[in-house]
Amino acid sequence: MSFIRPSFFRRHLWNDPFDNFLGSNFDWYDPFDEYDRSIFPIHTPQLNWIREPERRRASTYQRGQSTEKFRVQLNVAGFTPDTVKTNIEGNKLIITAKQEERDGDDFHVREFRKSYDIPEHADKSNLASYITPNNMLIVELPVNNPIHQQQMLDSHQKYRGSDQSEHERQIATTHSDSNQNGQQLAPKGYSPFDFGSFYGSTFGPKIVDGPSGEKKIDMNLDMKGYTPEQIKVSVKDNDVCVQAEQSYRDNNRSSRSYSYKQVTLPPGTQIENLQSTLTQDGHLKIEAPYRPLQAFKIIPLGVKGGSDESNLSAYLVTTEGSSAYICLDAGTLYAGVYKSVEYGVWGKNAVPDKIFRDNIKAYLISHAHIDHVNGLITNSAEEHKDKIKPIYALRNVIDNLREHYFNWNSWPNMGNNGQYPINRYHYNVLQEGEKLSILKDPDITVTPYSLSHSKVGFSSKTYGSTAFLIESHGNYLLYLGDTGADEIEKTDKLQHLWSKVAPLIKQKKLRAIFIEVSFQ
């Protein structure tokens, strides 16, 4: 295994403008990027274009996309720009130059012709070529591999919400000002990060847990056929560029061709600690620590108990970058979703029915009091007929739902067992203190702990409730259904719960606590 030291640069900020073309910073100039093309002529000597591209990427480019291109560099000192020609013939790039110098009746002609094999999926219609101030001819072709493009499209669609990704909405909300209606607006010129395209890039990025529970980004590129000396890894802001070089030499001059792959890493990536190594089997491993800007995304659908049926306990929870939610209790569902759409939480053109059916993937019910299950019951007929949704709860809660609500007396049996089940919901019994995976994408687990809610009538018996410890990639959220202090409830339920979560608080892994209290 060979360690490849990354080079670090600042994007579009140099002390010496000539260094853009004479130094390593020039690796980052992209003739197909409208922003690069507009800013470089201002801060650098004018390029001598041989073939200027017509392609414009600025209108569709989003941070998070990855790019590939093929580049040839050739020293053309001694030739004027008008004598240099670049063309595509079949699957070859042809570069020719012919310079004639006359002195009276005497003349001298210098010329050359060089050819290069171009990659299989190079975009021949978008060839760009230009000569830099230090007489370096640069020829570039974007590479559009259809397999990679489909992979990008599939990943992009997977990580989209109604019409924006969750992370876009988070960033827009975090870095915005409010309009007169209280809706959050993204700042002018803001370009949101596209997690879908990031996950679909040729770098094959994954966000994984390290040995101590910390998160990191792992990437893997196939670089078979290249030695460590031919590979260069460069970092500028959150952009990572991998350059693979091939050298050519003949009797007259030397030249080089390069394969470029570039990807933008998400906010929260610790770029300064990025490392890259080339394995013996020819794979370039790139990794960097990752600290998400926001561990959980929470959308309250209702926050109260009591008489207001449009604002009963229900909270949607997911992880950064996902549009798949779990619902903690379900007092108010559709009315809460409808209100959140009105407030612009889901972006433009969001449809409440679609969000209710498709974005809520599972329910966690702390106890079966009506102000915590009202929406689950009354909206059950609107759930997908062919997509049964899971309900997770302790045994006594599942029994209450099955025996007292979904029993054809109080309400049709929307569960998956009992008399004439309609199968809108699937009952899943949780075991106290045992962790269970409830979603795979995103990866979310739950560990339940029993609580005491209040006494039943004038008896000594207490009604149960539940605390849910939610975990995803080393981040935790604690939700407590209705409960009271141990001294009042005459139990040690809370003391037991705090003993379990105290280490997480000490380790700074517990991100939020929701506590609902009982009223006597």
CATH number at residue 227: 2.60.40.790
Tell me which residue range forms the domain holding 124.
2-145+202-289
Q: Are residues 244 and 341 in the same domain?
A: no
- Give the end of a domain, one of 236, 256, 289: 289
Short-list 8, 44, 45, CA closest to 25? 8
Token pair belonging to 168: 């876009």
Interstrand relation of 184-185 and 84-89 (parallel, antiparallel or unpaired): unpaired
Number of domains, the chain: 2
Q: Are residues 134 and 75 in the same domain?
A: yes
Counted residue by residue, the chain has a size of 520
Q: Are residues 358 and 493 in the same domain?
A: yes
Phi, psi of 79 (to 5 degrees): -120, 135
Residue 32 lies in a domain: yes
* Alpha-carbon gap, residue 297 to 292, rounded angstroms: 12
Radius of gyration of the chain (CA): 30
Helices (H) and strands (E) in the chain, counts: 11, 29
The three-state secondary structure class of 162 is coil
Q: Are residues 281 and 396 in the same domain?
A: no
Residue 173 lies in a domain: no
Q: Are residues 230 and 106 in the same domain?
A: yes
- Give the end of a domain, one of 253, 268, 289: 289
Q: Are residues 222 and 285 in the same domain?
A: yes
Measured in whole angstroms, the distance separating CA 5 from the mean position of its chain's CA atoms is 26
Burial classification of residue 315, based on how many CB atoms lie within 10 Å of its CB (0-12 exposed, 13-18 middle, 19 or more buried): buried
Q: Are residues 227 and 116 in the same domain?
A: yes
Residue 85: CB atoms within 10 A of its CB come to 14
- Give the end of a domain, one of 289, 307, 331: 289
Token pair belonging to 485: 């202090």
Phi, psi of 55 (to 5 degrees): -65, 140
pLDDT tens for the chain, 520 residues long, are 777 777 665 444 334 444 444 444 455 566 555 445 444 444 445 678 888 876 444 444 444 456 788 888 888 888 999 999 999 999 999 999 998 887 777 778 888 888 888 888 888 888 889 888 888 898 988 888 787 777 766 765 665 543 344 444 443 333 333 332 333 333 333 345 777 778 888 888 988 887 776 789 999 999 888 899 899 898 877 888 888 887 766 655 566 777 888 888 887 788 888 999 999 999 999 999 987 666 788 999 999 877 788 899 999 999 877 889 999 999 999 999 999 999 989 988 899 999 999 999 999 999 999 999 999 999 999 998 888 999 999 999 999 999 999 999 999 999 999 999 999 999 999 999 999 999 988 889 999 999 998 766 555 667 899 999 999 988 899 999 999 888 888 889 999 999 999 999 988 889 899 998 765 5
Query: What are residue 114's DSSP bridge partners?
Result: 95
Burial classification of residue 263, based on how many CB atoms lie within 10 Å of its CB (0-12 exposed, 13-18 middle, 19 or more buried): buried
Residue 151 lies in a domain: no
Q: Are residues 449 and 509 in the same domain?
A: yes
Q: Are residues 52 and 125 in the same domain?
A: yes
